[in-house]
């Protein structure tokens, strides 16, 4: 854990709210000067009083958007904390967050948070397993929330099933991981290229590919959460870049080449996920070419090799490439690893429902003469965390 962390603890209205008080007591006794700010919903106050948390934390407890409104508490609280943790997270709270509803202090703070957000659900098994709740949890996971899955056990309704609040040990493990991640890249400069390039043929036509930039965007988001100063060189995409990173928009391979030489050279870590067009039309027409019914031949010329250029002048930068292949993908990736002077390369086979434009991916990380780690198949947010974990290990050894 980081020294003297500041945690924002949200408490929503379930019977497990009393366990949040026990968790608070554990946190303040851990001996690292932790500060805990508690935000309670109106429903939570029906189960446990704010006085309990105020006594445990020796700090004010916030229950309303109108507590010290001149300080804008829903913004200030998440700006001052390293992580926000909700114990318990009820089905109602989860549903509101999934819909973007911010009608009280806790939901408004969570919506405004750009720090790790951890939810520990607790509810009846039927509510937890309902398709609506499962869809809401999946939506929040896709937006970066960490969910500490509830456990099976005795429930308040005198039933046994899944829905019991996770153990304090599991919640603390998730909290410590989030706090550690906040510092692992602190002070490091990270440059990431992402998305496709577009090579114009005429004012309305271009050569490109199916890349959406989602892998690079998730890597930028994860690196920023780990405390890095991140520059994202982003090609044309409909996806929104994450908050808290510097974004440089590019369109063509030439533009990416120029931007990379400015922003990626000298970075501590550069990850090149962009799907750069290998060729461009040799001739760019100033007006739209009208259809004539006849065959058309377009001569192509090579684009600059951005990754090779970075490899030649990387100096102390740890340079990571990406290889999207459709056959003998690891063999081809190792050739690129050597030819372009990379420190590591992440490779995936884009045949089938993987890679460009998909919700998940499958990656293998290669380095050195025979270094290899399978990162598995998962959603791109999870893979981004796994990849950065592996790269941090390699950077420490280099």
Which sequence positions are flagged as catalytic?
209
String of b and e for 153-181 (b: at least 16 CB within 10 Å)? eebeeeeebbbbbbebeebbebbebbbeb
Distance between CA atoms of 27 and 5, rounded to whole angstroms?
10
Backbone angles phi, psi at 52, to 5 degrees: -60, -50
Q: Which of 152, 163, 168 is nearest to 121 (CA)?
A: 163
In order of 39, 53, 57, 151, the CA distances from 17 in angstroms are 12, 11, 16, 16
Is residue 94 a contact partner of residue 130, using CB atoms and an 8 Å limit? no
Q: Which of 140, 124, 65 is nearest to 91 (CA)?
A: 124
Distance between CA atoms of 310 and 264, rounded to whole angstroms?
8
For the chain, the C-alpha Rg in angstroms (whole number) is: 24
What tokens appear for 186 in the block?
Answer: 């602190």
Number of other CB atoms surrounding residue 328 within 10 Å:
10
Distance between CA atoms of 387 and 328, rounded to whole angstroms?
21
Instruction: Write the burial class of residue 348 (CB in 10 Å: 0-12 exposed, 13-18 middle, 19+ buried).
Output: buried
Number of other CB atoms surrounding residue 45 within 10 Å:
15
Who's near 291: CB < 8 A, 6+ residues apart? none
Distance between CA atoms of 353 and 343, rounded to whole angstroms?
28
3-state SS assignment for residue 236: coil
Distance between CA atoms of 306 and 278, rounded to whole angstroms?
10
3-state SS assignment for residue 382: helix
Is residue 183 a contact partner of residue 227, using CB atoms and an 8 Å limit? yes
What tokens appear for 217 in the block?
Answer: 């965007």
């Amino acid at each position: 854990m980081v020294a003297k962390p500041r945690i924002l603890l949200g408490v929503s209205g379930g019977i497990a709210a009393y366990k949040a008080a026990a968790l608070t007591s554990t946190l303040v006794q851990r001996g690292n000067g932790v500060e805990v700010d508690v935000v309670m919903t109106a429903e939570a106050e029906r189960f446990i009083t704010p006085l309990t948390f105020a006594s445990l934390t020796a700090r004010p407890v916030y229950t309303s958007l109108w507590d010290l409104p001149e300080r804008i508490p829903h913004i200030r609280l998440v700006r001052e904390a390293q992580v926000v943790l909700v114990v318990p997270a009820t089905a109602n709270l989860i549903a509101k967050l999934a819909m973007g509803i911010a009608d009280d202090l806790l939901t408004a703070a969570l919506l405004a948070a750009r720090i790790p957000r951890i939810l520990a659900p607790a509810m009846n098994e039927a509510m937890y397993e309902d398709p609506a709740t499962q869809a809401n949890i999946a939506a929040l996971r896709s937006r970066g929330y960490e969910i500490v899955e509830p456990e099976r056990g005795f429930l308040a309704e005198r039933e046994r099933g899944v829905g019991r609040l996770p153990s304090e040990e599991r919640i603390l493990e998730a909290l410590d991981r989030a706090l550690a991640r906040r510092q692992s890249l602190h002070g490091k400069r990270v440059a990431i290229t992402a998305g496709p390039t577009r090579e114009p043929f005429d004012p309305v036509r271009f050569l490109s590919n199916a890349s959406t930039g989602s892998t690079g965007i998730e890597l930028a988001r994860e690196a920023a959460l780990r405390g890095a100063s991140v520059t994202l060189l982003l090609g044309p995409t409909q996806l929104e870049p994450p908050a808290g990173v510097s974004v440089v928009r590019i369109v063509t391979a030439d533009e990416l080449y120029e931007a990379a030489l400015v922003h990626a050279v000298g970075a501590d870590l550069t990850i090149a996920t962009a799907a750069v067009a290998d060729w461009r039309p040799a001739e760019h027409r100033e007006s739209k070419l009208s259809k004539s019914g006849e065959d058309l031949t377009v001569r192509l010329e090579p684009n600059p090799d951005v990754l090779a250029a970075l490899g030649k002048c990387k100096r102390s930068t740890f340079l990571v490439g990406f290889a999207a292949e459709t056959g003998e993908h690891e063999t081809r990736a190792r050739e690129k690893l050597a030819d372009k002077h990379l420190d590591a390369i992440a490779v995936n086979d884009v045949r089938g429902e993987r890679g460009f434009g998909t919700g998940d991916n499958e990656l293998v990380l290669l380095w050195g003469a025979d270094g290899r780690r399978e990162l598995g198949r998962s959603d791109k947010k999870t893979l981004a965390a796994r990849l950065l974990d592996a790269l941090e290990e390699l950077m420490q050894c280099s």
